[in-house]
Amino acid sequence: MRNVFYSAVTLLAALGVAGCGSGGSDSGASSNGTAADGEQLSGDIRIDGSSTVFPITAAVAEEFQAVHPRVRVAVSYSGTGGGFKKFDLGETDINNASRPIKQSEIDTATENEVEFIELPVAYDGLTVIVSPSNEFVDYLTVDELRKIWQPSSIVDTWDDVRPEWPEEEIKLFGPGTDSGTFDYFTEAIMGESGASRSDYTATEDDNLIVTGVARDPYALGYLGYAYYIENEGSLRPVPIKDGDKEPVAPTQESIDQGTYTPLSRPLFVYVRADAAKRPEVDAFMDFYLDEGRDLVSEIGYVALPDAVFEMVQERFDDRVTGSLFGGAGAEVGVSVKDVLARERASQSSE
């Protein structure tokens, strides 16, 4: 498997960019030629958002720049929410998101006359992790996760979860409140986005979660599946028991088949509609939806099925704006295929 984190760091170092530029104007992004002009294509593409989607987009950007070396792609991560704050002001061209856009973010974009194209690009499974030296946690139920992480939680030690477990303090690690992973986990486990205890080590850097959990046999955390895969020798995934079902561990198969519930989710990129008119952005997204499919699996996420990718490509080609997955009607566990198929059917009947 590609070392995506090394590649991403190498990419940013080569670009000489630590973060995305500011300002909503496209005047700094020149386009000499079209996508058909090969290496003559040039310009700047500014991307921010989810640390979970970051490895995919960074790997795609690296491959894209090998074909189009005059296009400068700046990829940063400030969390899904942090990225939308910039995207909704027109400061970035693309936002990586590990959850659908919220209604409040749609409202801000509308106020700033920012239209966007919503594109699912992969499946992920939020992975609950412990250290390999933890020998007592066999699985956790959804109710136990809720008991541990709820805002009013009185769980301090492992025996507060199950009496037979050690009377040792649970050291909790997780993403910060700007993270889409945080939003999705709290929505799936607590039933309310953002509902979480605050007395845990919160960070937008998933590698710090990995380090904190790996070295402590009594630590517990959660992050995206790809970060677990990248560090699987240092971490142990915890199977999750949802209701009366048998405990299920996160794997490529269980995420793809939808049996890893309720912590499977789609991952997105959001493209500014006006930015998509620029040849370099148009070419980048075509490349993302084509070559990026193989990179998704290499990195450790689950690629969308062929039929779904065709519908996603159509959505971009037709420049369909607005959100199908976010806003006031957002649901956890939504089927990407079913939602896109309904949109296609609706368009065909008009």
Taking the C-alpha atoms of residue 104 and residue 84, their distance in angstroms, rounded to an integer, is: 10
Position 172 scores a pLDDT of 98
Model confidence pLDDT, tens digit, residues 195-236: 999 999 999 899 999 999 999 999 999 999 989 999 999 999
Q: Is the pLDDT of residue 20 over 90?
A: no
3-state class (DSSP) for residue 82: helix
Q: If you write DSSP's letter for every residue of 113-137 in order, what string do you get?
A: T--EEEEEEEEEE-EEEE-TT--S-
Strand stretches in 89-187, DSSP E = 94-97, 116-125, 127-130, 140-141, 171-175
Model confidence pLDDT, tens digit, residues 23-69: 333 433 333 444 444 458 999 999 999 988 999 999 999 999 999 99
Average pLDDT, the chain: 87
Residues 6+ apart with CB under 8 A from 203: 173, 175, 176, 209
Position 157 scores a pLDDT of 98
3-state class (DSSP) for residue 12: helix
Q: Is the pLDDT of residue 140 over 90?
A: yes
**Pairing mode, if any, of strands 264-272 and 240-241?**
unpaired
Segment holding 49, helix H or strand E: strand 43-49
% of the chain surpassing 70 pLDDT: 86
- Eight-state DSSP code of residue 267: E
**Pairing mode, if any, of strands 236-237 and 201-203?**
unpaired
Average pLDDT over residues 239-257: 91
Model confidence pLDDT, tens digit, residues 281-330: 999 999 999 888 889 988 888 888 888 889 999 999 999 999 998 876 65
Cβ neighbour number for residue 34 with a 10 Å cutoff = 13
Q: Is the pLDDT of residue 98 over 60?
A: yes
